[in-house]
Amino acid sequence: GAVVSQHPSWVICKSGTSVKIECRSLDFQATTMFWYRQFPKQSLMLMATSNEGSKATYEQGVEKDKFLINHASLTLSTLTVTSAHPEDSSFYICSASGGAILGGELFFGEGSRLTVL
Amino acid sequence: AQSVTQLGSHVSVSEGALVLLRCNYSSSVPPYLFWYVQYPNQGLQLLLKYTSAATLVKGINGFEAEFKKSETSFHLTKPSAHMRDAAEYFCAVSDASSGGYNKLIFGAGTRLAVHP
3-state secondary structure (DSSP) of residue B96: helix
Q: Does B40 touch chain A (CB under 8 A)?
A: no
Q: Which residues contact B54 (CB under 8 A, 6 or more apart)?
A: none
Cβ within 8 Å, pair B100-A104 = yes
> Which of B43, B107, B108 lies at the smallest CB-CB distance from A93?
B43
Digit-coded pLDDT (tens) for B3-13: 899 999 999 99
Radius of gyration of chain A (CA): 13
Smallest CA–CA distance, residue A93 to chain B, in Å, is 7
Residue A14 confidence (pLDDT): 96
3-state secondary structure (DSSP) of residue B23: strand
Beta strands in A1-117 (DSSP E): 4-7, 10-13, 19-25, 32-38, 44-51, 57-58, 67-73, 76-81, 90-97, 106-108, 112-116
Per-residue pLDDT band at B59 (split at 50, 70, 90): very high
Per-residue pLDDT band at B54 (split at 50, 70, 90): confident
Residue B47 confidence (pLDDT): 95
Low-confidence ranges of chain A (pLDDT < 70): 1, 100, 102-104
Cβ within 8 Å, pair B102-A93 = no
Decide if pLDDT at B52 tops 90: no
Instruction: Look up residue B68 and give its amino acid.
Output: K
Cβ within 8 Å, pair B43-A104 = no
Residue B97 confidence (pLDDT): 60
Decide if pLDDT at B86 tops 90: yes
Cβ within 8 Å, pair B101-A49 = no
Decide if pLDDT at B99 tops 70: no
Decide if pLDDT at B101 tops 60: no
- CB burial of A24-48 (b: ≥16 within 10 Å; e: otherwise) equals bbeebebbbbbbbbbeeeebbbbbb
The helix (H) or strand (E) run that includes residue B112 is strand B110-115
Smallest CA–CA distance, residue A91 to chain B, in Å, is 8
Note which residues in 54-113 of chain A have CB less than 8 A from chain B: 91, 93, 95, 97, 100, 103-106, 108-111, 113
